[in-house]
Structure formats: C-alpha cells, structure tokens
Amino acid sequence: MSKTFLRWVAVWFSFVWTWVIFAFVLNETNPFAWNAMQRLAFLFLGSVWAGITHNHTRPEE
C-alpha cells in the first residue's frame, strides 16, 4: 500500500471520530447543527473518496 493511501485512511478515521463526538454533543443541544454536521460529513467523505480513487488511477510513486 502506498503512503498516500494510508495517510487518507488516517485522516478519514480521525475525522469520523471527531464527527461522531461532535454530532453526539450537538444533537443533544441543537438539532439544527446536526443537519449541518451531516452535510459536512457528506462533503468530506466525498472528497476522501475522490482522493482515494484518484490515487489508484496513478502509477505507484
């Protein structure tokens, strides 16, 4: 596996854990913020997916 791929995985996991914690806290206090968090998550996961698939189309460095 390439270092770039592993870096993306590390970023993804750190984001997911942060998002889960914030989402739990915000959902208890402000339902509107929960919708914003969902939008952020979809944007971020979309960018991660694009980054991973783009890396796999290039030759190994």
Question: What pLDDT is recorded for position 27?
Answer: 64
Q: Each residue of 10-47: pLDDT tens digit?
A: 887 888 787 777 777 766 666 666 677 777 778 877 77
Question: What pLDDT is recorded for position 2?
Answer: 75
Instruction: Provide the b/e sequence for 21-33 (b: ≥16 CB within 10 Å).
Output: eebeebeeeeeee
Question: What pLDDT is recorded for position 5?
Answer: 80
Query: pLDDT higher for 57 or 43?
Result: 43
Contact (CB, 8 A) for 4 and 55: yes
Question: What pLDDT is recorded for position 54?
Answer: 66
Rounded CA separation 61/54 (Å) = 13
Q: Sign of the C-alpha dihedral, residues 13, 19, 21, 24?
A: negative
Helix, coil or strand: residue 1: coil
